């Protein structure tokens, strides 16, 4: 009798501990739903939600802000996708910089900083990733979320064993079911991630977006890094190659141009080029915090990109980009993205007219002053 009562008491105590733990963990996990502030700069003329172009997204975690920077002068348009993968922060921060700093003089710029809004609300399992990282501006420190590569499983669960891309029948690992950059052009009645992709495709079609740039990062040992991936039509390839020559001539910035593989489906540079009239481009920079070789994960690693294990690996030729003891900072990664965005606009000479992004910092300016110098101060 005594033994049974001890069992019950221990069960009650353990259940109480479980409830306390769940409450404490819920507070931590829920804190990642808090949205970091973005301060629209003087160039922002309108802020709409993605549901404007696909009403089924309204009220869901997939609905996301679209910042419109309209010069008021007719011309070409560009859509910049940041935060496709929220664990690739240079894309997100470059998009924020455009919103807070850029003032187009001709044409119209559309910026989606959190393309996969849901993926900002969680981190990837078993990566020990920080939930936030910090950037110093002139008068304070800004915080930003470090999210996951894929949609939060809370919003789309369970994953199928095998992901089948709806348009092509291509099969991939089941975990790619929640990767928005395998879901394009999306489906109106598809899963959560496919619906968000469908919303973006609708925006591009309805607004006749001339150029679409999807900003990414990859690990320094990955082969497609410090690269522009362009849809394989002549106009897009020309734009990418002219940009390559500009950034190499102006800044000595080493970058490659790769043609979008015909048989790799679901990605922006393939499907948006095939299904819409936009010139579809994707960019990759080298992010040490994303690779397999880095040491302890921390917010500092995300921002500084400095890791002694990657430096050692580079000396053995195990990385595909130059990696010095100083690492590859977030400022340098953003400078690469932003310089190419500037030259994509500058070099566009098509029928849609001109796109002039106005006063814009150079690659060298961003590296010298840091990306924080071009972000708004925290309020």
Partner 1 sequence: MLKYVYLAIVAFVLALIVVNMFRKDDKSFKKVIFYQIDAALVMVTLLLRLFLIK
Give the interface with partner 1 as residue ranges (CB under 8 A): 3-4, 6-8, 10-11, 14-15, 17-18, 21-22, 25-26, 29-30, 122, 154, 157-158
In whole angstroms, the minimum distance from the beta carbon of 12 to partner 1 comes to 8
Give me the DSSP letters along 158-220.
PPPSEEE-TTT--EEEGGGGG-GGGTTT--TTS-HHHHHHHHHHHHHHHTT-SEEEEEEEE-T
210, 76 Cβ separation under 8 angstroms: yes
**Does an H or E element contain 13, and which?**
helix 2-31
In angstroms, rounded to a whole number, what is the distance separating the alpha carbons of residues 78 and 117?
20
Is 87 within 8 Å of 148 (Cβ atoms)? yes
Residue 52 CA: distances (Å) to CA of 47, 64, 66, 81: 11, 10, 9, 17
Q: Which is nearer to partner 1, 160 or 208 (CB)?
A: 160
CB nearer to partner 1: pick between 61 and 319 = 61
- The answer to whether the beta carbons of residues 317 and 337 sit under 8 Å apart is no
Distance CA 372, CA 101 (A): 11
| Residue with smaller CB distance to partner 1, 163 or 222 | 163
Long-range contacts for 182-185 (Cβ within 8 Å, ≥24 apart)? Answer: 182/265, 182/266, 182/267, 183/266, 184/266, 184/267, 184/268, 184/270, 184/271, 184/272, 184/275, 185/271, 185/272, 185/274, 185/275, 185/276
CB of 146 to partner 1, least distance (A): 16
Nearer of residues 25 and 245 to partner 1, judged by Cβ: 25
Distance separating alpha carbons of residues 170 and 157, to the nearest angstrom: 21
Shortest separation between residue 128's beta carbon and partner 1, angstroms:
15
- What is the closest distance, in whole angstroms, from the C-beta atom of residue 21 to partner 1 in the complex? 5
Residue the block writes with tokens 């010139």: 279
Select 30 or 48, whichever has its Cβ closest to partner 1. Answer: 30
- Compute the residue count for the chain: 379
- Considering the complex, state which of residue 125 and residue 252 has its C-beta at the smaller distance from partner 1: 125
The nearest distance, CB 131 to partner 1, in angstroms, is 12
Which two tokens mark 30?
């829920």
Closer residue to partner 1, CB minimum distance, 30 or 312: 30
CA distances from 64 to 49, 67, 120, 196, 309 (A): 5, 10, 11, 9, 37
Residues 6+ apart with CB under 8 A from 9: none
Q: Count CA atoms within 13 Å of residue 379 on its CB side.
A: 5
**Measured from the CB atom, is 130 or 353 closer to partner 1?**
130
What gap in Å lies between CA 277 and CA 185, rounded to an integer? 13
Indicate the residue among 127 and 207 with the shorter CB distance to partner 1.
127
Looking at beta carbons only, is 25 or 254 nearer to partner 1?
A: 25
């Amino acid at each position: 009798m005594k033994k049974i009562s001890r069992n019950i008491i221990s069960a009650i105590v353990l259940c109480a501990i479980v409830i306390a733990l769940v409450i404490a963990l819920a507070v931590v996990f829920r804190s990642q739903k808090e949205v970091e502030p973005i301060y629209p700069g003087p160039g922002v003329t309108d802020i709409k939600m993605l549901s404007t172009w696909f009403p089924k997204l309204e009220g869901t975690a997939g609905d996301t802000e679209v910042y419109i920077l309209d010069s008021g002068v007719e011309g070409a348009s560009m859509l910049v996708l940041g935060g496709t993968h929220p664990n690739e922060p240079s894309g997100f921060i470059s998009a924020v910089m455009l919103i807070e700093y850029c003032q187009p003089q001709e044409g119209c710029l559309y910026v989606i900083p959190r393309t996969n809004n849901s993926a900002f609300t969680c981190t990837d399992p078993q990566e020990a990733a920080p939930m936030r990282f910090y950037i110093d501006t002139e008068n304070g420190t800004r915080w930003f979320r470090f999210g996951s590569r894929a949609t939060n499983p809370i919003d789309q669960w369970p994953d199928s064993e095998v992901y089948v891309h709806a348009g092509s029948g291509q099969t991939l690992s089941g975990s790619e079911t929640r990767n928005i950059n395998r879901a394009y052009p999306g489906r109106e009645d598809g899963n959560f991630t496919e619906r968000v992709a469908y919303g973006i495709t609708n925006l591009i079609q309805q607004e006749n977006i001339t150029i679409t740039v999807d900003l990414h990062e990859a690990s320094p040992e990955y082969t497609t890094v410090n690269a522009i991936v362009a849809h394989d039509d002549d106009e897009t390839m020309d734009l990418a190659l002219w940009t390559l020559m500009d950034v190499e001539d102006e800044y000595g910035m080493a970058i490659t141009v790769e043609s979008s593989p015909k048989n790799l489906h679901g990605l922006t540079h393939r499907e948006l080029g095939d299904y819409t009239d936009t010139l579809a481009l994707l960019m990759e920079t080298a992010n040490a915090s994303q690779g397999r070789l880095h040491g302890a994960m921390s917010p500092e690693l995300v921002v500084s990109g400095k890791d002694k294990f990657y430096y050692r690996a580079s000396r053995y030729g195990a990385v595909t980009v130059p990696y010095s003891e100083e690492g590859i900072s977030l400022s340098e990664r953003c400078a690469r993205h932003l310089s190419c965005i500037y030259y994509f606009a500058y070099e566009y000479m098509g029928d849609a007219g001109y796109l002039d992004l106005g006063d814009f910092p150079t690659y060298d300016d961003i590296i010298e002053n840091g990306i924080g110098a071009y972000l708004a101060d925290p309020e």
